[in-house]
A and B are shown apart, each in its own frame.
Chain A
Amino acid sequence: MNDSVSRPDFVAEHVRRLPRSGIRDFFDIVATRSDIISLGIGEPDFVTPWHIREAAITAIEHGATRYTANLGLGELRKSVCRYLRQSYDGLAYDWQSETLITVGVSEGLDLAIRATISPGDEVLYHEPCFVAYAPLVRMAHGVPVPVETHAEEDFRLTPEALEAAVTPRTRALLINFPCNPTGAVLDAADVQMLADFVTRHDLLLITDEVYSELTYEAARVSVAQVPGLRDRIIFLGGFSKAWAMTGFRLGFVCAPADLIEAMMKVHQFGMMCAPTLSQKAGVEALDNGWDDIAAMRDAYRDRRNLMCASFAEMGLDCYKPQGAFYTFPSIRSTGLSSYDFAMRFLNEESVACVPGSAFGACGEGFIRCSYATHIDKIREAMERMARFVARVRGAK
């Protein structure tokens, strides 16, 4: 692209080597198509509940248009700590020294990694997973080390896989449960296993719990609740998913004071503070948004049921997700690769889903179908998928 330009390639070496997200490639293809049903969207179809939007409007009316403290508004940090105490069985963080408001969980992740990872440090994370983990580690000059999870084990991390991946250079383990894209969650035994593992190897544990409010039948447990473990945990939470506030770009980090202080340095020089209007809206969400979450969670659960029942009728194996808003069915029985399945399904039936391989090599053989879409569209998409799968199988 720079052939005709007589200047050096200014792109940094480690950024040049960063692969493009598989999702972006697929996005470019889908963007050229009109009139499709998309099951490829990683954000709620619900608009932010009105009273939360109204809180942002009121904040504008009152002139809340300036910076806040770098750590974030005191009232929001207090609300965050109250929320964690109430929803996580007494999980206690100090709002003044252990809580930082971020620009979405995305910034929180970046801060956690940049503040703790030195060049060459290895970071374990599970695949299939959210697309940002490995690139963020690479941009911090760390070494991302994926640990595979499998449908046969309900996409859980196993001690064997973790032990096989850990080395003397391992610095941290990064986890995301409920998981995008698999919908897997942790149970009490998993949490204890992970606690034992990070303690045994003296690791930092970064837990991305952005989907935690969207947990269905399973009881919600967090590694942060394990007694004695909190000193090695960075807890990441956010408003985007459960409160349908993606565009507000609002999240939070809770961690021991020394780690917050370190993340604060990166945040202060890179970001100053999270948007003030969003922080005002966040207070309203945490203090008065619980009925909205319950209503949206009920809707997601019904849609998940519809999708899983439809996959069963089609003969596609699918782990029944216990959290987040994605199903991750296996399409191996069709004989197609993830990419070919997604491309052909898009071309032949005008429905977009994301190839599982976009979420890591072991996502091959799966597709991610988001149920953050209106129930009528999901029903229609499932009818088309049933037709498509039958046709592919018939042609074999």
Chain B
Amino acid sequence: MDRLLELLKTNARTSIETLAKQLGEPEADVEARLRDYEMRGIIRGYQAVINTDLLEDDSVRAVIELRIRPTQDGGFDRIANRIGRFDEVESMYLMSGSYDLLLFVKGRNLREVGRFVSSKLANMEGVLSTATHFMLKTYKDHGVMMEQWDHDERLRISP
């Protein structure tokens, strides 16, 4: 992967100026490449990694396993695209194994997620079954451990 993308994955807020210095390239080149990635849809967005467990917020997240019947003309994609349009769905993947779609879903509370599953997903044409698992605690998200233990305890000057 382009080192520029790796640097942005680590910290998407790094300025063009700093990126250019780190890469040893002119700023204009870095900026042009960045725009190109955005235009081509390779960079699809820039998001913060938030430890929601620390927020005064009772919202809940759930993982939902979905078994679906592929349609003749659209396979899995057609129904996946229908489901993916719901705001409640944060991420969705087609899986191998005992179910077909894996959904990461968020809601303001248990009841809201429950309602989404029963009234939106379960009765959708082509959905065979659902299995909903609520998340209790986030340990790691987007490669970031949520608990911070790694204090810098190094000697402040060493040879």
Contact = CB atoms under 8 A, between A and B. Distances in A.
Given A45-B152, A298-B6, A38 B157 contact: yes
A140 B155 CA distance: 28
Interface string A369-380: 000000110010
Contacts of B7: 302
A285 to B, nearest CB: 19
A180 B21 CA distance: 23
A41 B156 contact: yes
A338 to B, nearest CB: 14
A192 to B, nearest CB: 30
A319 interface: no
Contacts of B156: 27, 30-31, 36, 38, 40-41, 352
**Dominant secondary structure of chain B at its interface with chain A:** loop
A379 B20 CA distance: 13
B3 A23 contact: no
A354 B158 CA distance: 9
A389 interface: no
B157 A26 contact: yes
A309 interface: yes
Contact of A42 (B18, B23, B152, B158): B158
A30 B157 contact: yes
A40 B152 contact: no
Interface in A25-71: 26-27, 30-31, 36, 38, 40-43, 45, 47
Contacts of B154: 41, 43, 45
Given A23-B157, A26-B157, A352-B157, A302 B152 contact: no
A354 B21 CA distance: 24
Interface string B130-156: 000000000000000000001010111
B152 A130 contact: no
Contacts, number: 61
A343 B157 CA distance: 13
Contacts of A31: 156-157
A303 B7 CA distance: 11
Looking at B11, B24, B157, the one whose CB has the most chain A CB atoms below 10 A away is: B157
Contact of B155 (A27, A306, A354): A27
Q: Name the interface size band of chain B.
A: 10 to 19
A375 B66 CA distance: 43
B74 interface: no
Contact of B158 (A40, A306, A310): A40
Contacts of B21: 305-306, 309-310
Given A30-B157, A40-B157, A43-B154, A306 B18 contact: yes
A238 B140 CA distance: 32
A44 to B, nearest CB: 9
Contacts of A288: none
Interface in A293-334: 298, 302-303, 305-306, 309-310
A286 interface: no
A142 to B, nearest CB: 20
Contacts of A375: 11, 14, 18, 22
Contacts of A352: 156-157
Interface of A: 21, 23, 26-27, 30-31, 36, 38, 40-43, 45, 47, 130-132, 180, 298, 302-303, 305-306, 309-310, 352, 354, 375-376, 379
21 contacts: A27-B155, A27-B156, A27-B158, A38-B156, A40-B157, A40-B158, A41-B154, A41-B155, A42-B159, A130-B159, A298-B3, A298-B6, A302-B3, A305-B21, A306-B18, A309-B21, A309-B24, A352-B156, A352-B157, A375-B11, A375-B18
